[in-house]
Chain A
Amino acid sequence: DGGITQSPKYLFRKEGQNVTLSCEQNLNHDAMYWYRQDPGQGLRLIYYSQIVNDFQKGDIAEGYSVSREKKESFPLTVTSAQKNPTAFYLCASSKSGLWAYGYTFGSGTRLTVV
């Protein structure tokens, strides 16, 4: 079955460390997205990519970086510059530009800074 795989499910990071969250899809979707969820807030867009080797900042990109070297993969790096990285991170994909289709989401990674 096609879908999105996020790993790891839980991640602990020490202050000052960079960590990378994995997101892989086998849906042949062009567009991929990273969202962050904090308690009581809606999903907020960090970065998105409509095609390979291209990506755009979302609303809260500071302290994060991404790459899109392959269509299937869109890893997110949480850098030490991110002031408050403890959150739940969701990856999603969609058929690019076709808003008649919903997003397909992964199951998320919960990042905790210790």
Chain B
Amino acid sequence: ILNVEQSPQSLHVQEGDSTNFTCSFPSSNFYALHWYRWETAKSPEALFVMTLNGDEKKKGRISATLNTKEGYSYLYIKGSQPEDSATYLCAFIENGGQNFVFGPGTRLSVLP
């Protein structure tokens, strides 16, 4: 079974702070990586789909980078707001794989 790790497990920041967290995955046989945001009592929502080494994606104040050679992706949030409070999941699929493997998530709390 593939191992996908996320760090930190949880994070508390003040409103206005910028923050980042990491998803680590096997560096061989990469095919695609997804990031999801999961707010309490809602469904996980797709943020980014990343497929190429060096990919950088941006959606408003949130951006993500991808390094497939070393097996990690960073998610950055600039100027965190309380509505950014959620669990952020990454999911990895290897080349030839049938399904995504999810990391355990990073739980972000933004304090007003």
Contact = CB atoms under 8 A, between A and B. Distances in A.
27 contacts: A33-B99, A40-B9, A40-B104, A41-B104, A42-B4, A42-B101, A42-B102, A43-B89, A43-B91, A45-B99, A48-B99, A56-B98, A59-B1, A90-B43, A99-B32, A99-B49, A100-B32, A100-B51, A102-B36, A102-B46, A103-B34, A103-B36, A103-B46, A103-B91, A105-B36, A106-B43, A108-B43
A109 to B, nearest CB: 12
Nearest to A108: B43
A21 interface: no
Contacts of B46: 101-104
A107 interface: yes
Q: How large is the interface on B (under 10, 10 to 19, 20 to 34, 35 or more residues)?
A: 20 to 34
A108 B93 CA distance: 23
A3 to B, nearest CB: 8
Interface residues of A, number: 24
Contacts of B43: 4, 90, 104-108
A16 interface: no
A103 B4 contact: no
Contacts of B34: 102-103
B55 to A, nearest CB: 12
Contacts of A59: 1
List the 10 closest A-B pairs by CB distance, nearest first.
Answer: A102-B46, A42-B102, A43-B102, A105-B43, A99-B32, A42-B104, A105-B44, A107-B43, A102-B34, A42-B103
Interface in A15-37: 33, 35
